[in-house]
Amino acid sequence: MDYYLKESEREPLLYPPGGILIWMVLSLELLTFIPALIAFFYYRQAAPDSFAQSASQLNLEIATINTALLIVGGWFVARALHALRQRQNLQARSFLGGGLLSGLLFLALKGYEYAHKYSQGLDLAYNDFFTMYWLITGFHFLHVVVAALLLIVAMRGIARGRYNATNSEDVETIGVFWHMCDLIWILVFPSLYIFPLGGMQ
């Protein structure tokens, strides 16, 4: 039995999708969001009625649409990477464009929701619920902004021939970052928009 694997055989184990560094970054990101959500539930336990009343003032319809947008965007990004590996560069750019559009629509709807809440006086200092709401969703909003900018970088890189079937690591890293935004929002959405409503009486 050959105990000495070739470099290409060892690479999937030593270099997970996107590379080890991005997964270290993502782990740190999750270690930031998860304690924030734990803190949110801690404060909710202390004031369930207040949190329920505050959550009822959020726009569940917009949040649901935004959830769908991020999931669809994740599908586009995954398809883009697959197309790039199949040497279908034009198709890869088109799929990345779909992911970018999904991200921009998410940001636009979230921005509208922010503006509406601010106009109602539901700002960072309104109560504990909205303090956590602005901090958690605001941090995620910034992540989606970064993800959208990275998709533009990937699209330009493919157009200029920098990224291709044999050099797709950066695009893969960008894809992993996008999927992290998906994962975090899937945790944030029910935590902030749905679960607190269970405290209404």
Tens of pLDDT, residues 20-53: 656 666 676 777 788 888 999 999 998 999 999 9
User: What mean pLDDT comes out for the span 110-124?
Assistant: 95
Contact in structure between 62 and 109 (CB atoms under 8 Å): yes
Banded pLDDT at 198 (limits 50, 70, 90): confident
Contact in structure between 37 and 191 (CB atoms under 8 Å): yes
Class of domain 33-199: mainly alpha
pLDDT tens digits for 59-85?
999 999 999 999 999 999 999 999 999
pLDDT at 12 over 70: no
Q: Which of 21-30, 94-103, 144-153 has the lowest mean pLDDT?
A: 21-30
pTM: 0.84
CB-side neighbour CA atoms (13 Å) of 68: 6
Of 37, 185, 25, which Cα lies nearest the Cα of 107? 185
- Residues whose CB is less than 8 angstroms from the CB of residue 171 and which lie 6 or more positions away in sequence, other chains included: 80, 81, 84, 92, 154, 157, 158, 163
Contact in structure between 110 and 158 (CB atoms under 8 Å): no
Tally: H helices and E strands in the chain: 7, 0
Banded pLDDT at 199 (limits 50, 70, 90): low
Instruction: Decide: helix, strand or coil at residue 135.
Output: helix
Element (H, E) at 30: helix 20-46
Q: What is the pLDDT of residue 21?
A: 59
Of 33, 21, 31, 32, which Cα lies nearest the Cα of 188? 33
Q: What is the pLDDT of residue 170?
A: 86
Q: What is the pLDDT of residue 11?
A: 46
Looking at per-residue confidence, does 17 or 43 come out higher? Answer: 43
What are the extents of the domains in the chain? Answer: 33-199
The tokens describing 17, both together, are 């999708």
pLDDT at 135 over 90: yes
Task: Identify the bridge partners of residue 167 per DSSP, sorted by sequence position.
Answer: 164
Banded pLDDT at 5 (limits 50, 70, 90): very low
